[in-house]
Structure 1
Amino acid sequence: MPGAIAAFGRNDLRNIRRDSLLAGIVFGPFIYAATMWLLPMLTRYLDREHGFDLVPYHPLILSAFIVVGPIAVLGAVCGMLLMDDKDQRTLAALRVTPAPPMTYPLYRAATTIAATTLSLVAAMALTGQVPAEIVVASVPITLLCGLNAAMVGFGLAALARNKVEGLAIVRAIGMLLFGLPMVPFFFDHPAMLGFGFIPTYWPAKAFWEVWDGGNPWPYLAAGAIYSGAISWWLLKRLASQKA
């Protein structure tokens, strides 16, 4: 098992180094974080020129760029690596090795969750707009984001035949997964829980709760159960899928 995992890791590094698109996407969360350096300037401009106070909307903007947005970016990386492995018949080759069939999908899920968690925590700190105590309190949220990224990656690998189709699918579902979850920010009503059918709603809502000093754990638990169930179904499908 350790030998197989080490081989998977070397293969990932080789694929990322030789694919300029993948290498660029990996830095997506940090590019999002860098754009947040403009937030104070934009806030001052709107207040001075238009009398509009943007401060109450800072958690919405930050959640869009450093919580929900990177899920699409890192999910796309996961999906494209899986598609590379399908093209190289890695999954088919693993069927004749002693490694259990679920070893590789579980490895892919674990690495995606770990990479997303580390990237998002670093991105939050790099924005300069998220207080340190909120960064710390948001670590469980970044884990949920990682689970969502794995779910997106598994979905792309299951639905797309190549990388071009995979990126097209990300763009097609972008509004559903990464736009609609922002709507409940504007409405304080129990009916907004209906947006929970969108998996990315749960980490966004948990972040808003942390920002306001509320309790994020009910949303984290619901999101983990929901996204985990979808991810497990997709993971099992990929594990049994022919290359």
Structure 2
Amino acid sequence: MSQIALITGATSGFGAACARRFAAHGWTLILCGRRQDRLDALRTELAATVPVHAFPLDVRDETAVNAAIAALPIEFAEVDLLVNNAGLALGLEPAQRCDMEDWQRMIDTNIKGLLYCTRAILPGMVARQRGHIINIGSVAGSYPYPGGNVYGATKAFVKQFSLNLRADLLGTRVRVTNVEPGLAESEFSLVRFKGDRDKADQTYQGTQPLRPEDIADIVYWAATCPAHININRIEVMPVGQAFAPFAISRDG
């Protein structure tokens, strides 16, 4: 029997790459995202090989999340894997100049949206005594950088929430993994800089960043480890990235 994966934010980047990776291995897919046109195109692409149920969803809307999960067709209802991929960064300004709406949107998506999806799926996994939640975190949840303020804080939440889920789920055979990428080229920077292609491209200039397919490979590996193995955290950077030194102000 095919396993079922639900992937949020499936319309681009890590989410779309994960959908293709799991489809290539015969998984049944539930895909959601905010952009209907991209969702339709991905469903058409993958439905030729595996069963696909796709629907538009903004994970910030708790009522919509609960309704969508409750309305899953019976053949898609027993979700084996939830990939909480929907998330974003907005802006790179210091905290004193940030847009409060950007902060609120990051909190609503990266924290609240992840919570809504997890809470909607988790009881069924526990009842069935099987399942896996893979959260897409970030190295920004461990290592601060200028302008990372609320984005990094949301990913620190995801890291700690993932670990706390493991504590709560001991004895249930439900697994939890937090995948924490570093510099990765997708639409991430384009979204962060609100469509400014020049700024987005500068982020990756002269580098060989991670690709969405790299993260999809890692997610698939974690999901397909033997059932008695739980990968708690995976922190991954391109070889051209390392930890920043401590910053020192020398202005007296």
TM-score, L = length of structure 1: 0.28
Bigger relative contact order, structure 1 or 2 (CA pairs below 8 A, ≥6 apart) = 1
| Structure ranking higher in helix proportion | 1
* Greater fraction of residues in strand: 2
The two structures have a TM-score, normalised by structure 2, of: 0.27
